[in-house]
């Protein structure tokens, strides 16, 4: 189905029309982002991590300083691991990897901290990785709102953080990211960056006033971005810590706006992606390029961005747009770009006349897969077997 504007762009300044289209109230979940960050930190502080946990006679887990960190999750739950990885990549002395798979990488062992994240608690890939992590005696900690993951943790006494359950997973990013920081602090891997976290939350409150639905389009950068993206396939380009944010914006456009989008990262994209823009104009004009910019970007990155823009983006893309990071600290700037991108995906959904919240095709996919392969039943059997020993 070809999407068309449901009216003129003035619909974004008609609050009643926004409420009518956004029937499931995604905007309220976005509005509460700063408060949810605060709440997530408080919830995470309640976590108690044992020094040792016996699962069976042959499986015991010792919680100590890990040599590597593996975040296991899918979709909106996994993106928190990507943000953690890119945020700490230049300062944490141990590697962080995100596993979006049924099976863990071969290196996962008793020196690996495995953070199993499933907002629903029923993501089969995450549950599969969770069970395998226990079998390998990894230091397992879970974050979930309920479902089987919560049930498994309770039966096996695996430490977990239970978060509120009323949000769409992609809107629960505060509850899936900030607890990770607290867990690293509790395991003495990371000193809690209190000043950076405080600035991030305060800045989100300030940005909210600029991008919320009540702010007119002429003063609202998220509404302006949505209008510019309408009718194009967005290509989101990030670098270093914004690699994860570019992915986040891409997936928000997929799930909220219900449009195809892609993401790439500098400098790698200037070794391959740049050539694709030399394709025929009738093809490239279908795409818009969204460049994430940072006032502290290095001269090397700035040169690559601006050179690529001059060489072919300005000539071949339908539009070339920028999202400019705001804030002093790295985390604050990352979340500032993310927040603007989140709201832009909401407004683009409004322009397309679609409720941002429902993701019917994913629900149908899970239903069809469950009829073909019942992985959950096997995992449940394994947990019951352990729990009775």
pLDDT in tens, 328-370: 999 999 999 999 999 999 999 999 999 999 888 777 777 776 6
- Are residue 344 and residue 258 in the same domain, yes or no? yes
**Range of 79's domain?**
50-186+374-387
State residue 380's pLDDT score. Answer: 87
Alpha helices by DSSP H, listed for 6-163, are: 15-21, 26-31, 33-45, 75-88, 124-135, 147-156
> Which of 124, 199, 255, 297 is labelled catalytic?
255
- Residue 211 falls inside a structural domain: yes
Q: Which residue has the higher pLDDT, 191 or 196?
A: 196
* Residue 271 known to be catalytic: yes
Residue 237's Cβ-side half-sphere holds a number of Cα atoms within 13 Å equal to 24
Q: Is the pLDDT of residue 1 over 80?
A: no
> Which of 366, 378, 385, 389 is labelled catalytic?
366
What is the pLDDT averaged over residues 18-36? 96
> Which of 218, 271, 282, 371 is labelled catalytic?
271
Q: Provide the whole-model pTM.
A: 0.94
State residue 193's pLDDT score. Answer: 79
- Are residue 341 and residue 244 in the same domain, yes or no? yes
Cα–Cα distances (Å) from 151 to 64, 75, 106, 251, in that order, read: 24, 21, 27, 29
- Is the alpha carbon torsion for 156, 162, 166, 170 positive or negative? negative
Q: Is the pLDDT of residue 6 over 90?
A: no
Q: Could you tell me which of 343, 326, 345, 322 has the C-alpha nearest to residue 335? A: 326
Q: Is the pLDDT of residue 7 over 60?
A: no
Asked whether 101 and 92 are in contact (CB, 8 A), the reply is no
Asked whether 328 and 200 are in contact (CB, 8 A), the reply is no
Q: What is the CA radius of gyration of the chain?
A: 22
State residue 8's pLDDT score. Answer: 59
Domain count across the chain? 2
- Residue 143 falls inside a structural domain: yes
Q: How many Å apart are CA 82 and CA 372, to the nearest integer?
A: 31
Quick check: helix, strand or coil at residue 56? coil
Quick check: helix, strand or coil at residue 287? strand
- Residue 361 falls inside a structural domain: no
* Residue 20 known to be catalytic: no
- Residue 42 falls inside a structural domain: no
State residue 3's pLDDT score. Answer: 46
- Residue 43 falls inside a structural domain: no
CATH number at 75 reads: 3.40.50.10490
- Are residue 115 and residue 162 in the same domain, yes or no? yes
- pLDDT band for position 373 (cuts 50, 70, 90): low
- Are residue 232 and residue 297 in the same domain, yes or no? yes
- Residue 119 falls inside a structural domain: yes
- Are residue 142 and residue 228 in the same domain, yes or no? no
* Residue 367 known to be catalytic: no
């Amino acid at each position: 189905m070809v999407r068309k504007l449901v009216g003129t762009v003035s619909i974004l300044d008609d609050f009643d029309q926004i409420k009518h289209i956004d029937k499931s109230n995604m905007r309220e979940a976005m509005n509460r982002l700063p408060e949810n960050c605060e709440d997530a930190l408080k919830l995470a502080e309640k976590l108690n991590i044992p020094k040792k946990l016996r699962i069976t006679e042959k499986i015991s887990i010792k919680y100590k300083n890990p040599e590597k960190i593996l975040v296991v999750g899918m979709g909106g739950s996994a993106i928190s691991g990507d943000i953690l990885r890119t945020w700490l990549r230049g300062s944490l002395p141990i590697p962080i990897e995100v596993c979006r798979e049924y099976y863990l990488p071969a290196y996962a062992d008793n020196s690996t901290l495995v953070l199993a994240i499933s907002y629903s608690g029923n993501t089969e890939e995450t549950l599969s990785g969770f069970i395998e992590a226990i079998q390998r005696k990894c230091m397992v900690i879970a974050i979930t709102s309920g479902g089987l993951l919560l049930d498994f943790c309770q039966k096996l006494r695996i430490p977990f953080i239970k978060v509120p359950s009323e949000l769409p997973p992609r809107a629960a990013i505060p509850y899936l990211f900030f607890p990770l920081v607290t867990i690293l602090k509790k395991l003495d891997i990371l000193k809690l960056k209190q000043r950076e976290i405080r600035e991030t939350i305060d800045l989100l409150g300030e940005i909210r006033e600029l991008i919320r639905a009540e702010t007119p389009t002429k003063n609202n950068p998220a509404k302006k971005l949505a209008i510019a993206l309408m009718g194009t396939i967005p290509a989101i380009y990030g670098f270093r810590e914004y690699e994860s944010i570019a992915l986040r914006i891409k997936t928000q456009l997929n799930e909220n706006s219900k449009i195809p989008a892609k993401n790439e990262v500098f400098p790698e994209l200037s070794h391959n992606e740049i050539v694709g823009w030399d394709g025929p104009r009738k093809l490239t004009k279908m795409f818009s390029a969204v460049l994430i910019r940072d006032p502290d970007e290095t001269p090397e990155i700035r040169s690559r961005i601006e050179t690529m823009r001059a060489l072919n983006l300005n000539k071949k893309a339908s539009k070339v747009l920028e999202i400019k990071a705001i804030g002093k600290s790295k985390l604050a700037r990352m979340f500032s770009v993310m927040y603007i991108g989140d709201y832009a995906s909401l407004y683009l959904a409004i322009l397309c006349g679609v409720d941002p919240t429902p993701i019917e095709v994913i629900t149908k996919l899970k239903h069809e897969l469950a009829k073909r392969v019942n992985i959950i039943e096997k995992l449940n059997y394994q947990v019951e077997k352990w729990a009775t020993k």
